[in-house]
C-alpha cells in the first residue's frame, strides 16, 4: 500500500553531557554500569557513543537543563519543546510494547516543557541549522 514516510536526522558535531540524580548511593554505582551499555537516545535507530566512563558527582553546575523545574527566564530565540518521560511507578509490563498494556498520558507517560538554548540560523526544504545561544 501507499504511505507517507517521514525521516528526520540530527547531527551534533560535539559532545554533550547528561546528569542523572539518584536517591541512594548504591543506585549510583549500578546506574554508572548501566549507562555504559546505552547506544541510542530517543527513537529506535538513533545512535550515540559514550566517550568516557560515567562518574559520580556531588552536585552539577548551572550549565545543565533541569527537567521538571519551572521555566522562568530564557532567551526569546531559544526553542521550547516537550520531553516525553515516564512516571516513577511505570512497570516494565506497561513499557513493553508487546504486552498489550496501555500507557496513559498524564499518569504513566509525562510531558515536561523544556527550553533548548539553540536558535534557528537557516533552513530550507531539506534542512534546518541551529546554533547554541550565547548566554
| Three-state DSSP class for residue 25 | helix
29-44 burial, b if ≥16 CB within 10 A, otherwise e?
Answer: eeeeeeeeeeeeeeee
Running DSSP on this structure, what letter comes out for residue 66? Answer: P
Q: What is the CA radius of gyration of the chain?
A: 18
Q: What is the pLDDT of residue 44?
A: 63
Low-confidence ranges of the chain (pLDDT < 50): none
| DSSP one-letter string for 26-52 | HHHHHHHHHHTT----SSTT------S
For cell 541512594, name the residue. 24
Q: Cα separations (Å) of 130 from 12, 59, 118, 122?
A: 10, 29, 6, 7
Q: What pLDDT does residue 107 have?
A: 92
Rounded to whole angstroms, how far apart are CA atoms 110 and 87? 6
Amino acid at each position: 500500500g501507499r504511505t507517507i514516510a517521514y525521516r528526520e536526522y540530527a547531527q551534533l558535531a560535539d559532545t554533550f553531557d547528561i546528569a542523572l540524580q539518584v536517591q541512594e548511593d548504591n543506585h549510583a554505582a549500578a546506574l554508572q554500569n548501566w549507562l555504559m551499555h546505552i547506544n541510542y537516545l530517543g527513537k529506535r535507530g538513533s545512535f550515540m557513543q559514550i566517550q568516557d566512563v560515567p562518574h559520580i558527582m556531588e552536585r552539577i553546575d548551572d550549565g545543565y537543563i533541569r527537567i521538571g523545574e519551572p521555566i522562568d527566564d530564557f532567551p526569546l530565540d531559544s526553542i521550547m519543546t516537550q520531553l516525553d518521560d515516564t512516571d516513577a511507578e511505570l512497570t516494565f509490563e506497561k513499557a513493553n510494547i508487546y504486552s498489550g498494556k496501555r500507557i496513559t498520558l498524564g499518569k504513566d507517560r509525562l510531558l515536561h516543557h523544556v527550553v533548548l538554548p539553540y536558535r534557528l540560523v537557516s533552513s530550507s526544504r531539506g534542512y534546518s541549522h541551529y546554533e547554541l545561544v550565547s548566554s
